[in-house]
Structure 1
Amino acid sequence: MSKPSTATGVPDALHRRLGVADAVVIGLGSMIGAGIFAALAPAARAAGSGLLTGLGLAAVVAYCNATSSARLAARYPASGGTYVYGRERLGAFWGYLAGWGFVVGKTASCAAMALTVGSYVWPGEAHAVAVAAVVGLTAVNYAGVQKSVRLTRVIVSVTLAVLTAVVVACLTSDAADAARLNAGGDASLGGVLQAAGLLFFAFAGYARIATLGEEVRDPARTIPRAIPLALGITLVLYTVVAICALTVLGPKGLANSAAPLSDAARAAGAQWLAPVVRTGAAVAALGSLLALVLGVSRTTLAMARDRHLPQALAAVHPRFKVPHRAELAVGVVVAVVAATADVRGVIGFSSFGVLVYYAVANASAWTLTPDEGRPARVVPVLGLAGCLTLAFALPLASVAWGAAVLAFGAAVYGIRRMAAARRA
């Protein structure tokens, strides 16, 4: 297949302003977010002493997905990520299915991150704070992607400082002996796989780099460099934080913790650090929300260009050069969900949709030729198998809801195709 146009000179093209450092910051802002503050406890509950094994498995699947996504993004440097890759390599339906799963699943994730901000900042008014966060970050995104990068850089810096403080407190404490009293919780294979699925959710932010492909300078070089860098930094940080939490709390204590990193700080004798961790968690959730809205709006833009979503959403602001209508639409939907729903029940569905999205990315990467930068064959094979395994290791309700929503999207696609065929 021929390489598509980069849209240079097209009236509705986005501006290429992001370098390697900017792209890495966006990836870090997506990954080093609320997941590390919240995902450790449920993962430990599922895997017990096998938590680190689950983390390693999630990292392997994430690496395969990142490698496949990076090679595809270099080949197809346009907004939309796997929606574009699936369309170009596998056919229109698979691209549509990936885009549908991403938009719906990540919209739910946006609402979850907004409510996470609310629960840390003002638990009694979590919904109101969540809506305010969505409105504020939508305004930042509307003003241009460079402003989003600047804010993300601040958020990443604060989050890294808080996590570093927790790690230092744990490593310099005498709590390890007490943690042994909480040891236990040996894991089954199913528990480790479920923990990997939960922890994979915290790794999935590197997709934001690919979905911004139309705004990256020299994407054929920038994206393949930025994605592995962001993923590698995140993996090292997650591993160190998980080891420290296990050291001071033990598997059982970590599994029973509602706020694991705050509890780890207290157990390490640094009670003063607990409110700082709460602030860091809220800031990290804001970073995740900011990056999620960026990614969802760009995929919405790409699908609207192909008329899978209302074409009005394909407009690019003449001054700020962002998909302003798509961003506003995503912001409104997320604000409504955050104001009216408890989205904890849809996190599993979101994970299911994300894993299906990456399964399509790996299948697309398999079709690349060596001249097109195809990764080693084992990479997309492991990535595809890993995505499907982790998706179906999720709780049954999550699998059922995820499959139902994907089937609904597929039915809409089929109806539209039949209507178009009749008109022709």
Structure 2
Amino acid sequence: MDEHVSHATEHPDLKRGIGPWLLFFFVLGDIVGAGIYALVGEVGAVIGGAIWVAFLCAFVLAIFTATSYAELVTKYPRAGGSATYVNNAFRNSFVSFMVAFAVAAASLTSASVLSLAFSGDYLSQFITVPSVLAALVFVVVIGFINFYGISESVRLNLVFTCVEITGLVL
């Protein structure tokens, strides 16, 4: 049994399908996030003209995170992301699993919330459709794309990131 486990960890089933530029735009989209459109009005209403301070603080934290990941990606160029880095640091499969689970849970939660924001705030400006139904369809479509492959998922993320950045620039 130990041979099987050793063999499985040496040759993971995950394939690397993201190049440097797709990874850059994936991280950029993750840092900027579509939530900026969903929350900027609410945050601005609470803190007013000091909203730039909140964005500056978030930017500084994001830079620390981005540089940490850049270092880890070059040191451990294997599939698995955060779980791989935690496993290399602590050599504890339970902790690695918990990190992977937390990342997945955070991603699912943010995808759900942003889908509702998209369907309720933005899509409703163009067509009349129940928000929950539109959000559900959006999540299912994105889920199928993610299931199909990481390359397709990250390319779609590239499109969304370009839309986000264009919206901020305009």
TM-score band (shorter)?
Answer: 0.7 to 0.9
**1:97-112 aligned within 5 A:** 97-112=98-113
**What's 2:4 paired with?**
none
Q: Deviations over 1:97-148 (max 9, x none)?
A: 4333222222211211221222121365011111111121122223323323
What TM-score does the superposition give when structure 2 sets the normalisation length?
0.74
Give, in angstroms, the shift of residue 89 of structure 1. Answer: 1.0
Query: Which residues in structure 2 correspond to 1:11-410 (within 5 Å)?
Result: 12-14=13-15, 16-92=16-92, 93-119=94-120, 120-122=122-124, 124-165=129-170
5+ long unaligned stretches in structure 2? 1-6
List per-residue Cα deviations over 1:281-309 (Å, max 9, x = no partner).
Answer: xxxxxxxxxxxxxxxxxxxxxxxxxxxxx
Give yes or no for contact 2:31–2:62 (8 Å, CA) kept in 1: no
Deviation at 1:18, TM superposition (A): 2.6
Amino acid across the alignment from 1:20: P
Indicate if the aligned counterparts of 1:141 and 1:147 stay in contact, CA closer than 8 A.
yes
- Paired positions, count: 158
Structure 1 residues 113 and 96, CA gap change in structure 2 (3 angstroms)? same
C-alpha distance in 1, partners of 2:50/2:95?
Answer: 35
Pair 86,138 (structure 1): closer, same or farther in 2 beyond 3 Å: same
Structure (1 or 2) with the greater helix fraction = 2
Moved over 6 A (4+): none
The amino acid that maps onto 2:88 is E
Structure 1: gaps spanning 5 or more residues? 166-424
Q: Which amino acid aligns with 1:161?
A: T
The 1-side partners of 2:139 and 2:43 are apart by: 28
What CA distance in whole angstroms lies between the structure 2 residues aligned with 1:71 and 1:27? Answer: 14
Q: Deviations over 1:180-232 (max 9, x none)?
A: xxxxxxxxxxxxxxxxxxxxxxxxxxxxxxxxxxxxxxxxxxxxxxxxxxxxx
- Equivalent in the alignment of 1:420: none
Say which one has the larger Rg.
Answer: 1
How many angstroms apart in 1 are the aligned matches of 2:49 and 2:168? 22
Q: Distance in 2 between matches of 1:25 and 1:65?
A: 15
Equivalence for 1:386: none
Residue 155 of structure 1 deviates from its aligned partner by 2.7
Task: Please tell me the residue identity of whatever aligns with 1:158.
Answer: V
Give the alignment's TM-score, normalised by structure 1: 0.33
SS in 1 for 2:130: helix
Question: 2 CA distance for matches of 1:152 and 1:106?
Answer: 13
Q: Counterparts of 1:163 and 1:68 in 2: how far apart (Å)? A: 26
Q: Take 2:164 and 2:58, find their aligned partners in 1: how far apart are those partners?
A: 22
Q: Aligned to 1:39, what secondary structure does the other structure show?
A: helix
8 A contact 1:26–1:149 mirrored in 2: yes
Q: Considering only aligned residues, what root-mean-square deviation do their CA atoms show, in Å?
A: 2.7
Q: Report the Cα offset of residue 48 of structure 1.
A: 3.1
Whether the aligned pair in 2 keeps the contact of 1:34 and 1:116 (CA below 8 Å) is no
The residue identity in structure 2 corresponding to 1:64 is F
Residue deviations 1:39-79 (CA, integer Å, cap 9, x gap): 22233344333322222222222211222222122222333
AA paired with 1:70?
A
Q: Secondary structure at the match of 2:161?
A: helix
Native 8 Å contact 1:118 1:127 kept in 2:
yes
Change (3 A) 1:85 1:160: closer
Aligned mates of 1:147, 1:99 — CA distance in 2 = 21
Structure 2 CA distance for aligned equivalents of residues 17 and 81 of structure 1: 13
State, as a whole percentage, how many aligned pairs show the same letter: 26
